[in-house]
Structure 1
Amino acid sequence: MTQTIAPRVRTLVLLLLAACGLLLTTAGPASAHAALTGSDPQQGVVVDKAPDQVSLTFSEKVALSNDSLRVLDPKGKAVQQGKPSEVSGTTYAVKLHSGLPDGTYTVTYQVVSADSHPVAGAFTFSIGAPSTTSVSVSGETAGGGVVGWLYGFGRYMSYAGFIVLVGGAAFVLGCWQRGAGVRPMQRLVVGGWLTLTAATLLLLLLRGSYTGSGKVGDIFDLDLLGNVLQTKSGAALVSRLLLLAAAALFISVLFGAYDKREDEEKRDLTFGLAIGGTVVAAGLAASWAMAEHASVGLQTGIAMPVDVLHLLAVAGWLGGLTALLVALYRSEVPVESAAVRRFSQVAFGSVVALVATGVYQSWRQLGSWSAFTGTRYGQLLLVKIGLVALLVGIAFISRRWTGQLADTVVQRGKRAQQKERVPDKERVLDKERVLDKERVAANASGSGSGKSKGAGSKGAGDSKRAAQLARQQAAMDTARQKRTRDADPNRFGLRRSVLAEAGVAVVLLAVTTVLTQTEPGRTEEDAKAATAASSSSSSSSSAGSGAVTLDMSFDTGGTDGKGVVTVDFDPARVGGNEMHVYVQRSNGRAFDIPEVKVALTLEAKKIGPLAVTPDRIATGHWSASNVQIPMAGDWKVAVTVRTSDIDQTTVSKNAQIG
């Protein structure tokens, strides 16, 4: 039966790894965890004279570099001077050269949010009157490309390594102390340490390029690495490496001196290892909490300890589950029912802590019920909740198998005590057969050899034969142990349920990794509200000057097809008008789409539709000059937005013109 299960296990593992790879590769660039909520000048505005500076306001504090804020003239030449600086709170500005000519200027920004994620974008404003521009900002994304994919993979492997290292060591120390001498368990925990160490080094090398240029060639730039070491994220990664050195000492004691101690000595050493291991594990978890979501936003003094507890609970549950799976499938020493029961209790406590801390984190990151379905973070969180519920359901089945396994072991123990009084006939017969074979081999060697060969060659042949027989006997003993282990239907059922738990856990870890790279729902909704307030203020200003601004939401139905299109008519009169079209994503960032068309219809007079095809000025910005409005009235403005070769939609709104 186990022979038929092995291919299924391999197939399941491959499918799960493929699913995780799909989640990581389709995650796209890291979503901004600090959103642009305002600017001066505002996006798309036309100012009478050149401003002295350009300022940007974000939803939270960000880290700046020398090239974080750039302002480019219509020919693509930089017109900012000096370094960007903090004005107040979350507002940052860069000075401009004096005497700038009229035209459309492009503002680009690339900063790092307080929770370590890169944020990039661009918008335009005009001095005097709009103009064409040669600036292309379609590549203004952060955290994408090969470097972004590698960074996401490194994050996934670091989480996996932490869970296996901490959970595996806790399983050995707290549930199955005999496992300290089992080679597969040693390989598992050491493998977790190596994975976490390698992933941390990879993240440290990638960090500079990930938050900057995104170029593969900058991965080994020592200047960038030096800058990274001065940031909060760099300090967290270096701290993690130092703690991993302490973890290496813990592992060497756990699988070295600890396994060789007597039971009396083990008690004191167990207490010391438990205290030291808890401190190291909490420190490793804190290296995430101090640099990511928990370190910014509401109640950081509570959020960071809660995040540490959340990570430790995940490791205790999923890491211990992985260790139990290895013990059930790979260990030649059968895991005792008492060890499985102890892990069941640890897992139950971990799930309780996981749910409690998860509820708090969800409230903190979402802020409203609507964010569950209205934001990508909320949608991913719903998927995670569903996977956790599925995992708990399978764990309940495992607990049932655990109870039955305990009863079976008790009954078998009684039988074993009775059998100890009776000689093991099979083993005696095996030994007699081995002795007979040795005698036959010795006689054959003696008769076929002359006395000239001497006793030396005969002794060498006997030692080789004895070694071969010993290996055969060891193989027979191992096979007998495996048959005995696999013959227990309750143990077989437990193995299957634990394997299913581990499979769901792999996918859950992938979803969690993507979730940590996604903009929190509270931040996304705050950015939408700030953008709406800015648009309302801009519309009121435009209305006072005779201009008309129309905002229309659209959804082309394709992947990433939702956004808002804004149409400005200035001065909104009969005759020639300047028309500007702005396309933004739901979070307020410019939306780079291939085509926009506008049609004007005065239905009361049966005029139109008058087609207008604006020219692309920059990412998310189109413009058309001298748009002729032949008659005053209530004009229907229909905008066709195409987001891909096959996905497009038309939205419309009426406007009083003239």
Structure 2
Amino acid sequence: MNRRIRYKSHSAIQALVLCIWMCLALISIPGMASAHAELERSEPEANVKYEQSPKSVELSFNESIEAKVGAIEVLDSKSRPVTSVTAQASKDHRSLILPLPSLGEGVYTVSYSVISEDGHPVSGSYVFIVGNPREGVDAATFDPHKELGHEGHSATTQLTTGQFIIYAARIVYYGSLLWAAGLMLWPLLTRGRGKLLPDLQRKWEQIALRTLLVGILVYIFVHAREILTGYPRDEYSKLFLQTNIGREWIALLVLVLLGFIIVRFPAVLKTIWALLILAIESWSGHAAVFAPKTASVMFDFVHLAAAAIWVGGLILLGLLWLADRKEAGRFAVLFSSAALLSLALLILSGIGMTLLFLPSLHYLFYTAWGTILLVKTGFVLLVLIVGGILHLRVRRGNLPTTVLLRADAALMALIILSAALFTYISPLPANEPVVYHKMGDTMHLSLRITPNKPGDNQFIVKVWLPDAVGAPKSVTMRLFALDQKELGPIQVPIKLFEDTEITTFDGYVKAAYKAEGPFVPFAGRWQAEIRVLDKDDNEQVQKVEFRNY
């Protein structure tokens, strides 16, 4: 029995030794031992600007990769894939090729994720540029002081107490604009309808124009003073003659004065006047900033025209209701149909502008602009309900009720109020530079990213190590898109530079690194990973989260 046990133990030992020998033999075979797959060449190249769109993305690795597992994705500046085509591997399985559609001007991100034949995952990301892309829009775009070359003031994205007067003036102006334009549009729609209506329209057109003139003058006075606070008086001529906003104010004033003459002419000229003054308003504010500009301005124009028809028609219906109920009933048939069509256009054009202004609907919850828009949307839905009930009543031959008219008028006032408030609040939150500093026993580190927006930024990393350790052997920086964790990291090519800032700490030696480029290709939440290696190959890692819009 003991002999049999010793025999089995001896056999087990021999088998174990044989397995170890075979493993060592396999490891020692030439070509079997290698590092993980690494990216050797990329086309288009990382951080390079191209005049024309590349025809494809080709990534070449230092060893074979799994042909059916590798993937490449190319994202535009809004982090949307530019193609749904699947990348194909080359014959030697060392390259992945992804055909591209014709790319417009912009910053593009190439993200790759592959598995080498030895089973190790390899991923990464980099950016390249096509043409001369337009800078990303942020809240600073809406600062009127920039047109004057002033840097002492800054735009705000929130409604504050100090802005109460200017927004009150804006409410008066916006309401009077829609009222006047609406009254001037309705004569063409009501031609030959009733005897009382034409006289009522002519009387209130004059009143509406006077109100609009006062509203514009008050608004220009208040807004111009707000812009030029702290600047000499001679800057006023520069504001009105050398800036877009000043020239738009002058054009509005000229058109309002012409309106007192136009009211005596046929309905067609009144309609043209109304459309012109709404078109000028459409070219100011947010619509003129966002691309494509033609679509943005057109959406805004349709939005204003639809609102003017609804506001003007509702005011006429109320005036007729007070003067002659039967005449009001006849007008209500036309108004109810026009109002429902106007509200439909309001909703569609509002959705179109929102999608153009915001990279994502999540941005509705980041600013006062989004909050007020959501409130306004709620009011519009209530108007649809009231308008639907009104439309059903008049179709059945019944007169509108006083309650319905008052509800519609109250909602109209609330919508004008909310629209006037958020017209000059930025749809986008203001981006703020990343300023980070951390003190430690073994390392001090600071990070600056300016201006911290999608597109070109400056990256500055400063590292302080103890004198006994000495200057860092190497410092590297990578960016991770936290909203799209499947994307590989983007390498930021920071390099040593001579820092002239007086930022010294006793007992520590400083090293400063800098890079500039479009390494933040789209808006979102990001994480900067900084790896510091000292001369003894000891590594310290610092991670900093930030976001931009």
Partner of residue 340, structure 2: 348
Partner of residue 259, structure 2: 247
**Aligned equivalents of 1:503, 1:142: Cα separation in 2:** 26
Residue 396 (structure 1) shift: 0.9
Which whole-Å deviations, capped at 9, do the CAs of 1:467-513 have from their partners, x for residues lacking one? xxxxxxxxxxxxxxxxxxxxxxx43x533202101101101111111
Write out aligned runs for 1:581-600 (5 A).
Answer: none
1:237–1:287: 8 Å Cα contact kept in structure 2?
Answer: no
Q: Which amino acid aligns with 1:243?
A: L
2:413 aligns with one of 484, 497, 506: 506
Partner of residue 526, structure 2: none
Partner of residue 167, structure 2: 152
**Aligned equivalents of 1:288, 1:200: Cα separation in 2:** 12
Partner of residue 289, structure 2: 296
Q: Which amino acid aligns with 2:286?
A: H
Q: Which amino acid aligns with 1:352?
A: A
Residue 570 (structure 1) shift: 8.6
Paired residue secondary structure (1:119): coil
2:401 aligns with one of 473, 494, 498: 494
**Aligned equivalents of 1:162, 1:278: Cα separation in 2:** 14
Residue 247 (structure 1) shift: 2.0
Residue 363 (structure 1) shift: 0.4
**Aligned equivalents of 1:510, 1:174: Cα separation in 2:** 27
1:390 maps to 2:426: no
**Aligned equivalents of 2:330, 2:505: Cα separation in 1:** 83
Residue 380 (structure 1) shift: 1.8
Change (3 A) 1:324 1:244: same
Partner of residue 195, structure 2: 178
Paired residue secondary structure (2:155): strand
TM score, norm. by length of structure 1: 0.43
Residue 334 (structure 1) shift: 3.8
Change (3 A) 1:205 1:345: same
1:168 aligns with one of 179, 183, 196: 183
1:547 maps to 2:444: yes
**Aligned equivalents of 2:506, 2:326: Cα separation in 1:** 82
Residue 236 (structure 1) shift: 0.8
Residue 280 (structure 1) shift: 1.1
Q: Which amino acid aligns with 1:162?
A: L
Q: Which amino acid aligns with 1:287?
A: I
1:366–1:378: 8 Å Cα contact kept in structure 2?
Answer: no
Partner of residue 285, structure 1: 278
**Aligned equivalents of 1:171, 1:286: Cα separation in 2:** 17
2:313–2:335: 8 Å Cα contact kept in structure 1?
Answer: yes
Which whole-Å deviations, capped at 9, do the CAs of 1:72-105 have from their partners, x for residues lacking one? xxxxxxxxxxxxxxxxxxxxxxxxxxxxxxxxxx
Partner of residue 545, structure 2: none
Q: Which amino acid aligns with 1:192?
A: A
**Aligned equivalents of 2:368, 2:506: Cα separation in 1:** 39
Change (3 A) 1:298 1:236: same
Could you say which structure has the higher helix fraction?
1
Partner of residue 622, structure 1: none
1:196 maps to 2:208: no
Paired residue secondary structure (2:195): helix
Paired residue secondary structure (2:360): coil
Change (3 A) 1:550 1:209: same
Task: Pick which of 58-67 and 154-163 moved more.
Answer: 58-67
Change (3 A) 1:186 1:203: same
Paired residue secondary structure (1:517): coil
1:213 maps to 2:250: no
Residue 336 (structure 1) shift: 5.1
**Aligned equivalents of 2:149, 2:342: Cα separation in 1:** 45
Partner of residue 325, structure 1: 318
2:158–2:368: 8 Å Cα contact kept in structure 1?
Answer: no
Change (3 A) 1:336 1:225: same
Give the superposed CA RMSD. Answer: 4.1
Aligned length: 325
**Aligned equivalents of 2:258, 2:285: Cα separation in 1:** 23
Identical amino acids, percent of aligned pairs = 18
Change (3 A) 1:336 1:153: closer
Paired residue secondary structure (1:380): helix
4+ residue runs over 6 A deviation: 141-146, 625-628
1:142–1:211: 8 Å Cα contact kept in structure 2?
Answer: no
Change (3 A) 1:549 1:160: same
Residue 386 (structure 1) shift: 0.7
**Aligned equivalents of 1:198, 1:222: Cα separation in 2:** 24
Write out aligned runs for 1:59-78 (5 A).
Answer: 59=138, 64=146, 68-69=150-151
1:208–1:225: 8 Å Cα contact kept in structure 2?
Answer: no
Write out aligned runs for 1:380-529 (5 A).
Answer: 380-404=372-396, 406=397, 490-491=398-399, 493-521=400-428, 524=429, 527-528=430-431
Which whole-Å deviations, capped at 9, do the CAs of 1:569-613 have from their partners, x for residues lacking one? 995879xxxxxxxxxxxxxxxxxxxxxxxxxxxxxxxxxxxxxxx
Residue 350 (structure 1) shift: 1.1
Q: Which amino acid aligns with 2:313?
A: G
2:180–2:312: 8 Å Cα contact kept in structure 1?
Answer: yes
Residue 223 (structure 1) shift: 4.7
For structure 2, the residue ranges without an aligned partner over 5 or more in a row are 1-135, 449-460, 468-503, 508-539, 543-549
**Aligned equivalents of 1:173, 1:275: Cα separation in 2:** 6
Change (3 A) 1:363 1:197: same
Paired residue secondary structure (1:298): coil
1:379 maps to 2:383: no
1:236 aligns with one of 237, 248, 259: 248
Partner of residue 155, structure 2: 119
**Aligned equivalents of 1:515, 1:292: Cα separation in 2:** 10
**Aligned equivalents of 1:627, 1:498: Cα separation in 2:** 76
Partner of residue 224, structure 1: 236
**Aligned equivalents of 2:312, 2:445: Cα separation in 1:** 60
Which whole-Å deviations, capped at 9, do the CAs of 1:202-249 have from their partners, x for residues lacking one? 23333332112179xx8xx46525533321111111111221133222
2:302–2:345: 8 Å Cα contact kept in structure 1?
Answer: yes
Change (3 A) 1:181 1:342: closer
**Aligned equivalents of 1:173, 1:340: Cα separation in 2:** 16
Partner of residue 488, structure 2: none
Write out aligned runs for 1:4-19 (5 A).
Answer: none
**Aligned equivalents of 1:238, 1:188: Cα separation in 2:** 24
Which whole-Å deviations, capped at 9, do the CAs of 1:532-555 have from their partners, x for residues lacking one? xx45xx669x99x9324599xxxx
Change (3 A) 1:518 1:66: closer
2:288–2:296: 8 Å Cα contact kept in structure 1?
Answer: yes
2:303–2:350: 8 Å Cα contact kept in structure 1?
Answer: yes
Write out aligned runs for 1:37-116 (5 A).
Answer: 59=138, 64=146, 68-69=150-151, 109-110=152-153
**Aligned equivalents of 1:152, 1:316: Cα separation in 2:** 23
Paired residue secondary structure (2:401): helix
Residue 314 (structure 1) shift: 0.4
Paired residue secondary structure (2:323): coil
Change (3 A) 1:142 1:314: closer
**Aligned equivalents of 2:407, 2:158: Cα separation in 1:** 37
**Aligned equivalents of 1:163, 1:495: Cα separation in 2:** 23
**Aligned equivalents of 2:296, 2:277: Cα separation in 1:** 16
**Aligned equivalents of 1:304, 1:65: Cα separation in 2:** 20
**Aligned equivalents of 2:403, 2:466: Cα separation in 1:** 74
**Aligned equivalents of 1:397, 1:379: Cα separation in 2:** 28
Paired residue secondary structure (1:252): coil
Task: Pick which of 170-179 and 200-209 moved more.
Answer: 170-179
Q: Which amino acid aligns with 1:166?
A: A
Partner of residue 316, structure 1: 309
Change (3 A) 1:214 1:164: farther
TM score, norm. by length of structure 2: 0.51
1:166–1:315: 8 Å Cα contact kept in structure 2?
Answer: yes
